[in-house]
Amino acid sequence: MAASHTTAPSTSAGQSASAAAPSAAASCSDAPPSEAPSGTAPSGDTAWGAAGAARPNAGTARPSAGAGQASDDAFWADAERHLVRYGPEFTPEIIECAAGSFVYTAGGRKLLDFTSGQMSAILGHSHPEIVNTVQRQIASLDHLFSGMLSRPVVDLARRLAETLPAPLEKALLLTTGAESNEAAVRMAKLVTGKHEIVSFARSWHGMTQAAASATYSAGRKGYGPGAPGNFAIPVPNAYRPDFTTPDGALDWRRQLDFAFDLIDAQSTGSLAACLVEPILSSGGIIEPPAGYFAALKEKCRERGMLLIFDEAQTGLCRTGTWYALQREGVVPDILTLSKTLGAGLPLAAVVTSAEIEQEAYERGFLFFTTHAADPLVAAVGNTVLDVLERERLDERARSLGTFLRRGLDEIAGRHEVVGDVRGRGLLAGLELVVDGEAGRGSSDLGARVTQRCLDLGLHMNIVQLTGMGGVLRMAPPLTATEEELSLGLTILDQAIGESGAAL
């Protein structure tokens, strides 16, 4: 790690990181003043969507009071008429602004954001240093021909290399996680001269062709053939083991051996790479056991495959270390970063060794896209690194992660419907079940808890996959306070209690 990571004084986990978590008044000064009290169901129009109440479709007028009714009606009518629906139902709130750990709605509600936007805003919303960087950079140099270079781009590439273990030192700056995984897979195929890709059966790597073909948790049906030569291996889930030792624990070594026996049987002899997340997020916050990735890397080495780590959600301090790969010290051949690198803005990176980059270059590697090496978001990336280093947010994520885990464990002790608590740092998962340990999952229970949390002022995300219960994903900003985490835990505790009792 770079020496600069340990030069700043530590920040207490119970306080906001200095200049890190802006007040709502500073960046969201026009936010509606009213809010649902902590742990209390919102009343009147803000109780929309409570368990049992119909949720509006995109175009359904939300009940609201006062002069804003006509405006809200028009908003939802326009949304229904003009927006393509690209996933789950839209949250039935009009979001006006966001600051720190909260988003503010047109109806006067203040929602605690336990997903950091789309698992990205690690410095909270509207961080003042990010705001200043965007305002300064866009006034001087925002976008260039993709073959031109600027200082923010070269600075960010160098600084990323300084945070990473050797030999990861060459970076390609892009926009999204899907794009970075697309580039990584394309590079691996070119360098190895092969085309087959292996990934986890509950993976999520993006929605573009190669990334979507390596994604198995959702979105595979109805689109015709994916990229040829994609294979899935089982996820080593200790809570729901498929291969077991005599005492019933997960036997991940036997599972991994079996998985690659099947891969070898199906492969045409063209295995190029294995693309995996160190902690599966959309797969239900599942972290493979210690030793797994070292064994996986050896499986790749034996077959001449490259190992690609997708650290879109785990990279840059969220798990309590700068990168999740540091737990075991397993260094991939290619690393992809996105979400957290831009702290909410579209910035991603592919990082690899000089040897692999040279081989790719000599073979004519082409990934010339519109926003490759854009200076505006690169400047934001440099500011993100500034704050992470100065505020020691890796240490803060460890401390707050311990606080969050303790609270989740206490909730699990009070509610039988909580089957498992897992995760690392400020990436946590809580699996809901309906008949005890490792029991049946309940999509209805998960949906009820998620909706009740929203009613009470907490936004979270639920993962619903076949074969497991609903898993509540939590990824609050690294700048959150203990008080904000306590508020979220209080709301979650109440929501689980009320929803479980309604089953």
Nearest CA to 477 out of 338, 349, 336, 316 is that of 316
Query: Tokens in use for 286?
Result: 């599942």
Q: Is 76 a catalytic residue?
A: no
In terms of DSSP H, where are the helices of 344-481? 354-362, 375-390, 393-414, 443-456
d(CA 85, CA 76): 13
**Would you call 143 exposed, middle or buried from its count of C-beta atoms within 10 A (0-12, 13-18, 19+)?**
middle
Instruction: DSSP letter for 33, please.
Output: S
Contact, 153 vs 378, CB < 8 A?
yes
d(CA 205, CA 33): 39
Contact, 32 vs 105, CB < 8 A?
yes
- Phi, psi dihedrals of residue 472, rounded to the nearest 5°: -80, 120
Which residue is catalytic, options 62, 303, 339, 424? 339
Which residue is catalytic, options 182, 310, 333, 455? 310
Please state, in angstroms and as integers, the Cα–Cα distance from residue 61 to each residue in 80, 106, 353, following that order. 10, 13, 53
d(CA 440, CA 418): 11
d(CA 401, CA 418): 19
Collect all residues with Cβ–Cβ distance below 8 Å to 485 and sequence separation of at least 6.
Answer: 400, 403, 404, 407, 476
Question: What number of other Cβ atoms are within 10 A of residue 34's Cβ?
Answer: 12
Query: Tokens in use for 299?
Result: 């499986």
Q: Is 170 a catalytic residue?
A: no
Q: Is 455 a catalytic residue?
A: no
Q: Is 494 a catalytic residue?
A: no
- Phi, psi dihedrals of residue 371, rounded to the nearest 5°: -110, 25
Q: Is 473 a catalytic residue?
A: yes
Collect all residues with Cβ–Cβ distance below 8 Å to 496 and sequence separation of at least 6.
Answer: 411, 415, 417, 418, 432, 449
Which residue is catalytic, options 35, 179, 194, 204? 204
d(CA 363, CA 135): 40
Q: Which amino acid is at 316?
A: L
Collect all residues with Cβ–Cβ distance below 8 Å to 467 and sequence separation of at least 6.
Answer: 240, 441
Strand, coil or helix: 495: helix
In terms of DSSP H, where are the helices of 267-330? 292-303
Q: Is 277 a catalytic residue?
A: yes
Contact, 95 vs 105, CB < 8 A?
yes
Which residue is catalytic, options 277, 311, 389, 391? 277
Question: What number of other Cβ atoms are within 10 A of residue 115's Cβ?
Answer: 16
* Angle at alpha carbon of residue 348, lines to 342 and 349, rounded to 5°: 125
Query: Tokens in use for 334?
Result: 């290619």
Query: Tokens in use for 454?
Result: 């929203």
Contact, 475 vs 317, CB < 8 A?
no
d(CA 350, CA 347): 11
Residues with catalytic function: 204, 277, 310, 313, 339, 473
